Copies of this chain bind each other. A is one copy, B any other.
Amino acid sequence: MIQTLQQISTIADMRVHIQEARRQGKKIGIVPTMGFLHDGHMSLAKAAREKCDLVVMSIFVNPLQFGPNEDFERYPRDIERDRELAQSGGVDLLFTPEVTEMYPKPILTNISVSNVTELLCGKSRPGHFDGVATVVTKLFQIVQPDFAFFGQKDAQQVAVVTQMVFDLSMPVQIVPCPIIREADGLAMSSRNVYLSQEERSEALVLSRSLKQAEAWLAEGVALPEIQKRMIEMISAMPLASIEYVEVLRYPDLVPVEQPIPGESIIVALAVRFGKTRLIDNLITYV
């Protein structure tokens, strides 16, 4: 039997499907996305397909998580192409609500997670993770998933959602999935489409610098020194403008002088090329 994707755009419709799936004892997986799908998203769908009986992918460009001067309006959208990709990726239900369906009135409820949001993107994008935590909670309430799949490219998002699920005892297991990269190393992102050829070429410094950092970590180079060397490396690119480069303990995202063996370390960066903000990271044991 060929599996057929169903596209659903209202919360009420989704509830009907979820109730039926629950009644049948199906394990439900959700892959929350903002659409304009790439292989990173597809790897999440694949992981969900392997673990769950019903795979729900949401496509929702969530205005709550964009700052006033960010790219909410111009964020790339292509629902036709997304639908085909979702179908071929084994998604059962594609949830594509309009903003007015998700927020029929101005939303008065806000969810915030402290500590893990203090640095990195939490620092440079105030309110961003409140928007993420709030919409993810809302999606969880609608879809009632047993598993939720998130890409490690947004490592801080994974940390925030994991903390929230723990704190609120949400009956869902967060499944972080590895970063998927282009052949030349660039981390896949819907925003890569913004890049000019020159910017795209210079942006390879990001994954290169992370690979270097991994080697330096293995050699035992001090964390502040690694940070310094990476900043030098990236700054050498004429079009690059660094927002942050941080080496922190993972998953609590706090600065440490020198890691204790057995701890995880995240090397994380956000760099602008022209108007395009890219993030990338590497998580490793030491």
A69 shortest CB reach to chain B, Å: 23
For A22, list chain B residues within 8 Å (CB).
22
**A110 is contacted by which of B111, B169, B170 (Cβ under 8 Å)?**
B111
Interface residues, chain A, with chain B CB atoms under 8 Å away: 11, 15, 22-23, 25, 107-116, 133-134, 137-138, 141-142, 144, 163-164, 167-171
**A109 is contacted by which of B15, B138, B168 (Cβ under 8 Å)?**
B168
A129 shortest CB reach to chain B, Å: 11
Bound-state Cα–Cα, A22 to B144, Å:
13
For A134, list chain B residues within 8 Å (CB).
168
- Could you jot down 11 A-B contacts, CB within 8 Å? A15-B171, A22-B22, A23-B25, A109-B163, A109-B164, A110-B114, A112-B112, A137-B168, A138-B167, A138-B168, A141-B171
For A109, list chain B residues within 8 Å (CB).
111-114, 133, 163-164, 167-168
A164 shortest CB reach to chain B, Å: 5
